Structure 1
Amino acid sequence: MKIVHEIVQTAPHLPFKYYLHDESTRVEVAPHWHQGVEVNMLIEGMPLKFVTDGVTHEYVPGDVWVVNSRAVHSASGFDNGGWREFGFIVDADFMAENYPDLPSVELRLHGAVAAASYRKLLRHMQSMMELVDATADPAIRLVVLGHFFAILGILFSDYKHGKVAVAVNDNAGLVDTMMGAIMQRYAEPITGRSLAEEFHVSLTTVNNQFNDAIQMPISRYIRLVRLLNARKMLLGTDQPVNYVASACGFSGDKTLTRNFKQWKGVTPSVYRARYARFHEKDTNRC
């Protein structure tokens, strides 16, 4: 199953979108982001590789993990992995209204931990998954909402961490629009400065907004998006490194190699030789 983002379902009167993957084929979710907090659970199947802001985690059945707002993430797994995975994305407006301090905190949970709160969290996720498709029934919808609020309560009580405060006038709309432009145009020779000029703001303002929203300047975000897509192309195609570099926005194979080695500790060729055998070949572009 190759998709560009989670295939989510919506239900009336619920403050989240949800998905339930039940696949015997491979999982391949391209790098993407969204405004809402995402909570995931792997129910069964082989290990699933999940990359969040350039950091790779491997999840196994029984793992629950969180993706924070605007974090770039992707997923991949072996052929015939027998995956069953459930997750939901909290509505961003709902979170802004009910937890206005969200921009100043982040949730840190990357799989199972030995804690009573985690066991409770896992039980609520399992119960929510079993009932979420039946929420047309008002009584069942209330039960699902109970599990949903219990999950958020556990996460924000036990897995919340503060961010470094930065005195910036928040402009989430600017950040979201520019992030969307980068995700669509990373193959072009865009820079933080060129995008700032395009959006009629100063580069200092752009960097302040990006640092406040996702804790990195815009140049680092552009580099990360390009590297994530280069990694996907290295593992999923037989295209040479110089082609990958050009297709993913790098000025040449030397620039890609230097940045990739800083990121993963090895060159693109070495990385492909080590890991490409675990991925299905694909002729599509990044």
Structure 2
Amino acid sequence: MARQKLRVCGARLLTLALGLFFISLVSSAEEYDYYSWQSDNFQNGRFYARQPQCVDIPTELRLCYTVGYKKMRLPNLLDHETMPEVLQQAGSWVPLVAKRCHADTQVFLCSLFAPVCLDRPIYPCRSLCEAVRDSCSPVMATYGFPWPDMLQCEKFPIDNDLCIPIQFSSNHATQTPASKTCPPCDNELKADTIMEHFCASDFVLKMKFKEVKKERGDRKLIAAQKKKKVLKMGLLRKKDLKKMTLYIKNGANCPCSQLDHLTSSFLIMGRKVEHQLLLMSIHKWDKKSKELKYAVKLMKSLQCPTYHSVFQ
């Protein structure tokens, strides 16, 4: 309950901060030579068939629906020209925001995926990109993802009055501290959280582990030989199921309470990266959990969006 209140408070402050920032941009617009949208269909060397337009941020755009403003510019600043394309690409970043690796992760990503409606595109400041990158890239590395080329911070402007700055400094009272728990072990047992990881994962299983080891900075999870229940086969092959080993990248020393006792079954979700199976999420299989029961039911019928790749 306390965490929920903190998030609500933080969201309200974020909305106020963003509102004041964008109001200041609009009020100073006359000082700059803005191009009208009627002649703004050629950006970054790419010609758009459609004129830029201002549209409502749809509820399905979970990454940005609560960011603090209601309308977005389309095409966005990542060259996505249609809303289905935005939804497809933005959805894969929702799990990263849920990790709370930096208080400004949502602000940074949404400035690109769902830029605020002004006459001229407003990019994130380079310092904002660097702050989010430095805090979140270690979390992404846990899942085997590098910081993507499309978000290289050198692409963004050095801090000025016409870029989006850091909203929460490192000592801001409302910033949620990054958890020291291993990222795959730090997920709420909530149906929507489970389904976000389900859609973003290559495979999902109900299974047991017989042993957990440390290996060159990683944590190595060796599956028990007992039968595994496949909830999503994805990129797995039958031979992968026979002698199954999963890894938490750079997870040798971070806490993972789920693995303190290996007697129970687990809901595990993961990705296949080259020849390794990386753990993305793990929950103890709690038969009494209504959230888990509902999520498992959804898994049988839900049509997941087709992501090119998580975090890209």
TM-score normalised per structure 2: 0.27
Structure number with the higher helix fraction is 1
Structure whose alpha-carbon radius of gyration is higher: 2
